[in-house]
Chain A
Amino acid sequence: MALMCSLTALAVKRPGFGERKYTITGMVEYGYNTTWGHHGNFDVQALMPINKHFEMEAKCQLSTANVYTGYVQLRPKFELPVGELFIETDVMYRAIKRNRMGDFTAALGVGYRMDYVSVTLGMFCRVFDNWDRSWYSNETYVVEPFNLLYRVEVFCRPQTNPWNLSFCVSNVDDRQMERQWQPIFGIGAYYDPAEHWRVLLDVQCKPTGMFHLDATFYSATVRAGFSYRF
């Protein structure tokens, strides 16, 4: 009995990912791609930890490229003896006003994270919609029913550390869910200068043609901002 209590105590004391707090984040971003050229974006994100096992995140991006993105993530999570298992259900709508069309995606993924690594695997479905589609034509939406979603992020410090540097390969991020053969490479950093504050910086690059076996540069973004934890 004493042995079991000691083991349980040890389990409770084992470091985890800590309790998440209500957080609001604001970021500004410079982006360049060979289609839109130079553009600036403004991101607002809110994290709402409903309870220990469930959190919700809402994100919004406004772009000078005349593209507007809204993103909602629901994330049940389960702490394991080692690491944390989580499920992500994501819904994203990208209003591409400059081209008068919409890009709606819905994703479901399973993730697992430990101190230094986080992996998510899942799938998403996409619908392209033409805003000027005539009700009297036989044109319908374009549906891409299946795309693989993947995200692998490695950290140089444990994820509960007050500062960190990470490297990520994924085909999804806060403003796009790319086809599975278009990975996006990112380097991220954060630093907590005070209890409630976090400074964020991330840099991303998206090549095109990797799986054509003719890779070439397509886009890059640099984003910086602050988070406030309540």
Chain B
Amino acid sequence: MKKLYSYMMLLGVMSLLSSCGPDATLDVLGMFSPQGETVNTRFAQSQTYNEQAGVTHIDMQSDDYMIYVCTDSHVTPDAHKLLDYFMAQYRAAASPKMALHLGDLIDAQNNFGCVDSILHYPGQTLHDTLFVTLGNHDIYFKQWSQYRDYFKTSAYWFDTRNGSRKLDLFICLDSAEGTLGTSQTKWLENLLKEKSQEGYRHIILFTHTHLWKLDASQGHTSNLALEETYKFTDMLSKYGVEFVWSGHQHARQSLVFKGVNYLVLDSSKDEEKGQSYMTAQMGNSIIYHYYPYNL
């Protein structure tokens, strides 16, 4: 009994130590309490930025365009080959196009500069054609303020157009801590109520945390609480959301519930094998493909 107690204490101490130091990747203290701003605060700060910056409308100058989507790159200065590859594929693709990153951009601390230099290139404007989402790893070690410095906002919407004609609506949600929070949920419901009447072809939500636990592939990654899952799925169905794209579990998954397609993407993390990114050909219908990282 004494030995078991000692082992447990050692495990606890090692877990805590693993969250110390600049190279620590897991913010273990976050298991017990928020380690920085919570979702309601982040959402309020995001909305302040959104009101100042205005909404992005991307004129694709065509009804058809391509979206490149990746997630969970977990970039560090020594590990970003897959994200480099993804960006190379995206930049080489013919226009019109845009790209999404579904969160967990970085691992450890102080790596937003590194991922920013990969995602953005000369001549490209922030939130021009590349959009990012906040993941749980991105707010470890109280790094929300750093994320804001680079990427400005964690909950926003934008749309694509062909001239003045609206094409598709995209909504980014902050689910980094496994809940949308009260303010964001209210905002989402009002936005969907309004926008679902405006004649968009497709409404797509993208966020980090996935909703379903279909198998053991998600490891220790958690979902939203059950009550929130019930409400969220019903709301999306009610307002005609067509797709929800997410990451977090590092394993592909797809299902349809209440008429909404839920896609979870593989990761783009260097050490993991068998990972992929997705492309979605947007037109009157959406055709998506997964492309493995054959590196």
Contact = CB atoms under 8 A, between A and B. Distances in A.
25 contacts: A34-B182, A35-B225, A35-B228, A35-B231, A99-B231, A101-B258, A103-B226, A132-B258, A144-B213, A145-B214, A182-B226, A208-B177, A209-B136, A211-B31, A211-B222, A212-B176, A212-B177, A213-B26, A213-B30, A213-B31, A213-B136, A214-B34, A214-B136, A214-B177, A214-B178
B213 A208 contact: no
Contacts of B237: 130
A215 B234 contact: no
A129 to B, nearest CB: 10
- Chain A interface main SS type: mixed
Interface of A: 33-36, 96, 98-101, 103, 128, 130, 132-133, 137-139, 142-147, 176, 178-179, 181-182, 206, 208-216, 218-219
Given A35-B225, A130-B257, 19 more contacts: A33-B227, A35-B227, A35-B228, A98-B234, A99-B234, A101-B233, A132-B258, A133-B258, A139-B256, A145-B215, A208-B225, A212-B30, A212-B136, A212-B177, A212-B221, A212-B222, A213-B26, A215-B177, A216-B179
A178 B225 CA distance: 8
B203 interface: no
Contacts of A146: 215-216
What class of interface size applies to chain B in its complex with A? 35 or more
Interface string B92-103: 000000000000
Given A179-B213, A211-B220, A214-B176, A34 B234 contact: no
Interface string B23-38: 0001110111111001
B258 A219 contact: no
Contacts, number: 133
Interface in B1-58: 26-28, 30-35, 38-39
